[in-house]
Structure 1
Amino acid sequence: MSKNILVTGASSGFGLLIANDLHKKGYNIIGTSRNPEKYASKVPFKMIALDLDSDQSITTLPDRIFKEIGQLDILINNAGFLVNGIAEEIPIELGRKQFETNFWGTIKVTNAILPYFRKQKSGKIITIGSITGLVAFPSTAYYAASKHALEGYYKALRFELTEFNIRVAMIEPGSFKTNIMENSSTTLNRIEDYNSLRNKSEKYADFIVEQGEDPAIVAEKVLKVVETDKPEFRNLVGKGLSVLILLQHFAYGILEKMILKQLNNT
């Protein structure tokens, strides 16, 4: 029997690739989007509405899912967006919105599904994090903070759900060619003192995206986690990430110099 999988944010980017890849492998996919009617005719799987900033949209999600299927086997948390810019220039309201969507929205969706997973004594929760949830870079303060927060939350949740046979895993992608920068939010507020750093950061971000790997690799990693009974919690995806994490934990001074050198040379 094919497993039923819910993929949030399945209309573009990683979410669309993941949903398409799993569909091709024979899984029954339900994708979500704020505006599913725009994409329903363009994808081979079912699309339903979900707005991570709307409590009503989230609380009604299980009823709408179970009108389509009898059981949900896997939740893949992917929906979210990027707030991009120098930390001091970003209004607190925009930073708060970053957390409301990326962190609280993801947690609320998870909590809406958990009672059903507990009742059936099975399930898998896979959340798409980011390397910035482990190592922060300039102009990503709020995004990195939201991803760090997800990392901590799901680490704890992993222990709490073990007795219910519910597995919890994070996918941590590095640099990939996606439309994340095009869909990012920023501010028109500019502090002159940061002009030099801002220009370097923007060039560095463009360089990173241009040099990024094929995002299909992330979908392949998700498939492996889907098909593994007891996956590892942290699943890094991308070149050189293991070394980067090692530097983060044991030689941060070296890592800091590397980042600053790349910024200045971009």
Structure 2
Amino acid sequence: MLKLNTDSDESVNAFVRELYTRVDTLDVLVNNAGYMVTGVAEETPVEMGRQQFETNFWGTVRLTNALLPRFRAQKNGKIITVSSIVGLIGPPNLAYYTASKHAVQGYFKSLRFELEQFNISVSMVEPTWFKTDLAHNSALAHGNKISDYELYRKKAAAATQKGIDEAEFESAILKSVKTA
């Protein structure tokens, strides 16, 4: 295991240097760093949205770009990026998360065309969310509550209890590694 904070250029560069002391060939990159900010758009502070993009979008791009020179030199590799079905459908209570995942999808859809000339495949896994407690990443945790949105909050809270489990996710990633 190597330490990595995708929000930091310094951390990504240190990670890449250490990685290359341990491996000669880079076969697969699975971009899975991220988290979910929950909250009705109007209630969610813009700064929370900026941080959502810093991790989910820019962090993913930062790490991918740091590893692309090795993939290109090898003229081979696979990049599998975890996005979310939410990036396609835009449910209530997840505006910034949806926007960050939509950005990830657009970026990697374009990147796949650029990299095919180097025999580097780019694919995406778009699961629903995992069963988790999201309260610590909630706009409400920051004291912003507009009562008019209470119905949406209740529906969103109920929906987050219906996520996928780790085994389903692991299976999708392994399938992508084997086929991409």
Query: What TM-score, normalized by structure 2, do the two folds share?
Result: 0.91
Q: Structure 2 regions of 5+ residues with no counterpart?
A: none
Matched residues, number: 179
Question: Which residue of structure 1 aligns with residue 164 of structure 2?
Answer: 213
What is the Cα deviation at residue 64 of structure 1?
A: 0.9
Between Structure 1 and Structure 2, the one with more helix by share is 2
C-alpha offsets along residues 161-208 of structure 1, whole Å, 9 cap, x if unaligned? 00100000010002442x26255242524353xx142x3233223322
Higher relative contact order (CA 8 A, sep 6+): 2
Contact kept in structure 1, 2:44 and 2:144, CA below 8 Å:
no
Between Structure 1 and Structure 2, the one with more strand by share is 1
Check 1:49–1:156 CA distance in 2 against 1; reply closer, same or farther (3 A cut).
same
Query: What TM-score, normalized by structure 1, do the two folds share?
Result: 0.63
Question: After TM superposition, which residue ranges in structure 1, 4 or more long, deviate above 6 angstroms?
Answer: none
Question: What root-mean-square deviation, in Å, do the aligned CA atoms of Structure 1 and Structure 2 show?
Answer: 1.7
- 1:14-25 aligned at under 5 Å gives the runs none
Contact kept in structure 2, 1:158 and 1:167, CA below 8 Å:
yes
C-alpha offsets along residues 203-249 of structure 1, whole Å, 9 cap, x if unaligned? 22332232333331121011111011xx3xxxxxxxxxxxxxxxxxx
- Percent of aligned positions that are identical: 47
Is 1:155 the equivalent of 2:106?
A: no
- 1:65-80 aligned at under 5 Å gives the runs 65-80=19-34
Contact kept in structure 1, 2:93 and 2:156, CA below 8 Å:
no
CA distance in 1, matches of 2:174, 2:133: 22
Question: Which residue of structure 1 aligns with residue 173 of structure 2?
Answer: 222
Contact kept in structure 1, 2:92 and 2:152, CA below 8 Å:
yes
Contact kept in structure 2, 1:81 and 1:183, CA below 8 Å:
no
Q: Structure 1 regions of 5+ residues with no counterpart?
A: 1-46, 232-266
Letter in 1 for 2:154: K
